[in-house]
Amino acid sequence: MAQVDTAATGQAGAGRQDTGSGTWRSDIHRTILLGFQPGPWKRGPVLAALALLLGLLMLLHAKVPNRAGNLGSLVETFLPWFGLFIPVLLAGALWRRSISAVAALLLPVTVWLNLFGGLLSDKSHPDGDLTVASHNVGADNPDPVGTARDLAASGADVLALEEVAQQARGTYEKELATAYPYHTVQGTVGLWSKLPLSDTRPVDTEMDYGPLADTKPADVKMAYNRALRTTVATDRGPLAVYVAHLGSARVTAAGFWTDSRDRGARALGKAIAAERNERVVLLGDLNGTMDDRAFADITSRLRSAQDAAGDGFGFSWPATFPVVRIDQILVRGVKPESSWSLPATGSDHLPVAAGISW
């Protein structure tokens, strides 16, 4: 029988034990390192926090204060565009493989869809008893003749124009006379109609403000009056129509400047609140979106035709690449059947139109 070298065998066994011990220690070391590496739920904490902040900002936009540079109104003006941050954050979450960030994105997605999801579908209907349209034709419009002809060809029964420059007024009156036998111009706003008008008067939107406002003669104020009210005689009864061009809103170094616009919105809201006719249409360039809290006195009494019966957001300004809807058609006592934007003219605004019924 062969003899076994016990010394050699012992050394070999010891070697195998050392090898096993080293492998075991390596496994433990790797496990510890993996334990300290961020898992799918721990990755991307900054992305998750940004997603939650985005959702809370949209959800609580009405709580953003206006004390510092009208920040709240600025946020609400561009509120739909906050949705663009969602795919950006989603891309970051997928790149980081962060489950927590993806889960956090459910909040802004839900809030955005709740606010604007209804605008993603076409809610228009072909029916309508009356077609109304509104257009800020632009004081610097290089082609008022072409603009007037395009608007006449739109087929609108009632057509409101804002920012009618004195030198262009005669052009609009001449070019629209055939299609619209009835019209009124009050300062820089006007209404052209296929139906008779009555009880027409200017509406004071407080463009003059301060101690000297009441000292100006009536004819001076009328030259730059920016709102009117009239009654359109329809087959279904009288329709009160307001046309308005509120003051400008501008982003400046000091913030979002909206002083004259906000005064006008409050004054217009009071006029509409005092309106006795149950059927009302407001047409005009309000220089703001209806998400802006500054228009609460108006939106509490009138509803947007675009929101009720439009297709999409209906952005109207600037005409070359519209990013906001500041040209509005708002109604009370009638049903919006459709709402749309008309093709661009020589103005920096797009015309907007709506079909309404009783």
- Token reading at 126: 């072909």
pLDDT given at position 24: 64
Please give the Cα distance from 251 to 74 (Å, whole number): 8
Global pTM reads 0.86
| Residue 358 DSSP SS3 | coil
pLDDT given at position 19: 52
Q: Look-up: residue for tokens 């029964």?
A: 157
| Sheet of strand 327-332: strand arrangement | 197-202, 227-234, 237-245, 280-285, 327-332, 303-304
| Residue 57 DSSP SS3 | helix
pLDDT given at position 162: 98
- Strand-pair partners of 339: 310, 354
| Sheet of strand 158-162: strand arrangement | 182-186, 189-193, 158-162, 130-136, 352-357, 335-341
| Residue 132 DSSP SS3 | strand
Alpha helices in 274-328 (DSSP H): 296-299, 305-309
Q: Write the burial class of residue 10 (CB in 10 Å: 0-12 exposed, 13-18 middle, 19+ buried).
A: exposed
- DSSP strand pairing (158-162 vs 182-186): unpaired
**From first to last of its 358 residues, what are the pLDDT tens digits of the chain?**
444 454 444 444 444 445 555 676 676 555 544 444 556 667 889 999 999 999 999 999 999 999 989 999 999 999 999 999 999 999 999 999 999 999 999 999 999 999 999 999 999 998 899 999 999 999 999 999 999 999 999 999 999 999 999 999 999 999 999 999 999 999 999 999 999 999 999 999 998 776 656 666 667 777 779 999 999 999 999 999 999 999 999 998 889 999 999 999 999 999 999 999 999 999 999 999 999 999 999 999 999 999 999 999 999 999 999 999 999 999 999 999 999 999 999 999 999 999 999 9
The angle subtended at Cα 202 by Cα 140 and Cα 293, nearest 5°, is 75
CB 303 within 8 A of CB 330: yes
Residue among 32, 35, 329, 346 at smallest CA distance from 159: 329
DSSP-assigned states of every residue in 168-190: HHHHHHHHHTTT-SEEEEETTEE
The angle subtended at Cα 251 by Cα 247 and Cα 256, nearest 5°, is 75
pLDDT given at position 99: 93
